[in-house]
Amino acid sequence: MPKIKINGRELEVAEGITILEAALSNGIYIPHFCYHPHLPISGNCRMCLVDVKPGPPKLSISCATTVAEGMEIETENEKVRAARAAVMEFILKNHPLDCPICDQAGECVLHEYYMKYDLKPSRLFSPEDKVKKQKRRRLGKHVVLDSERCILCTRCIRFVRNVSGDESLAMVKRSDKMEITTFPGKTVDNPYSLCLTDACPVGAWTSADFRFKQRVWFLQPSASICPHCSRGCNIWIDHRREEAFRIRPRVNEQVNKAWACDEGRLNYHLINDDRLTLPLINSGGGQKEISWKDALKTAGAMIAEAGENLSVIVSASLSLEEGKALLSLQESLGAKVMLNTGEPGWEDNILRQSDRNANTKGLTDLGIAESLDNGLDDSAVLVVFETLGSAPLPEGIPAPAIVISPSVTPAVKAAKVALPAASYAETAGTVVNFMGLSQSYSSALKPKGQALSHAEIIAKLSAAAQKAGE
Nearer to another protein, 177 or 288 (CB): 177
- Return the residues of window 162-181 that contact another protein according to CB under 8 A: 167-178
- Residue 160 beta carbon to another protein: minimum distance, rounded to whole angstroms: 9
Q: Considering only residues 16, 185, 375, 436, which one is a binding residue for another protein as defined by CB under 8 A?
A: 185
Cα separation, 144 vs 161, in Å, equals 19
Amino acid, res. 153: C
Task: Count Cβ atoms below 10 Å from residue 129 Cβ, excluding itself.
Answer: 9
Nearer to another protein, 170 or 435 (CB): 170
Strand boundaries in 13-78, DSSP class E: 49-53, 60-61, 72-74
Nearer to another protein, 175 or 374 (CB): 175
- Return the residues of window 239-258 that contact another protein according to CB under 8 A: none
Nearer to another protein, 34 or 412 (CB): 34
Nearer to another protein, 172 or 399 (CB): 172
Interface with another protein includes 41 (CB under 8 A)?
yes
Nearer to another protein, 168 or 193 (CB): 168
Q: Considering only residues 183, 344, 369, 410, which one is a binding residue for another protein as defined by CB under 8 A?
A: 183
Cα separation, 78 vs 129, in Å, equals 29
- Residue 63 beta carbon to another protein: minimum distance, rounded to whole angstroms: 9
* Phi, psi for residue 9 in degrees, rounded to 5: -90, 130
SS3 10: strand
- Residue 86 beta carbon to another protein: minimum distance, rounded to whole angstroms: 3
Interface with another protein includes 44 (CB under 8 A)?
yes
Exposure on the CB side of residue 180, measured as CA atoms within 13 A: 31
Nearer to another protein, 12 or 176 (CB): 176
- Return the residues of window 58-117 that contact another protein according to CB under 8 A: 58-59, 61, 64, 82-83, 86-87, 89-91, 93-94
SS3 265: helix
- Residue 168 beta carbon to another protein: minimum distance, rounded to whole angstroms: 7
Cα separation, 372 vs 355, in Å, equals 15
Element (H, E) at 24: helix 19-25
Interface with another protein includes 151 (CB under 8 A)?
yes
Q: Considering only residues 123, 285, 377, 396, which one is a binding residue for another protein as defined by CB under 8 A?
A: 123
Best CA proximity match to 314, nearest among 231, 396, 399, 371: 371
Contact 394, 380 (CB under 8 A): no
**Which DSSP string corresponds to 159-214?**
HHHHTS-----EEES-GGG-EEE-STT----STTTTHHHHH-SSSSEEETTTTTT-
Nearer to another protein, 57 or 436 (CB): 57
* Phi, psi for residue 388 in degrees, rounded to 5: -60, 120
Instruction: Single out the segment in contact with another protein by CB under 8 A; choices: 36-44, 221-229, 339-347, 389-397.
Output: 36-44
- Residue 84 beta carbon to another protein: minimum distance, rounded to whole angstroms: 10
- Residue 83 beta carbon to another protein: minimum distance, rounded to whole angstroms: 6
- Residue 85 beta carbon to another protein: minimum distance, rounded to whole angstroms: 8
Binding residue count for another protein, defined by CB under 8 A: 46
Contact 206, 103 (CB under 8 A): yes
Best CA proximity match to 206, nearest among 116, 98, 133: 98
Query: Rounded to an integer, what is the distance from CA 157 to the centroid of its chain?
Result: 21
Nearer to another protein, 151 or 419 (CB): 151
- Residue 90 beta carbon to another protein: minimum distance, rounded to whole angstroms: 4
Interface with another protein includes 184 (CB under 8 A)?
yes
- Residue 416 beta carbon to another protein: minimum distance, rounded to whole angstroms: 56
Interface with another protein includes 182 (CB under 8 A)?
yes
Cα separation, 173 vs 170, in Å, equals 10
Nearer to another protein, 79 or 324 (CB): 79
Q: What is the β-pairing status of strands 280-282 and 287-289?
A: antiparallel
Convert 404-438 to b/e letters by CB count within 10 Å (16 or more is b).
bbbbbbebbebbbbbbbbbbbbbbebbbbbbeeee
Nearer to another protein, 190 or 230 (CB): 190
- Residue 186 beta carbon to another protein: minimum distance, rounded to whole angstroms: 8
Cα separation, 179 vs 131, in Å, equals 11
- Residue 51 beta carbon to another protein: minimum distance, rounded to whole angstroms: 12
Interface with another protein includes 145 (CB under 8 A)?
no
Q: Which residues bind another protein (CB under 8 A)?
A: 41-47, 49, 57-59, 61, 64, 82-83, 86-87, 89-91, 93-94, 123, 125-126, 129, 131, 151-152, 167-178, 182-186
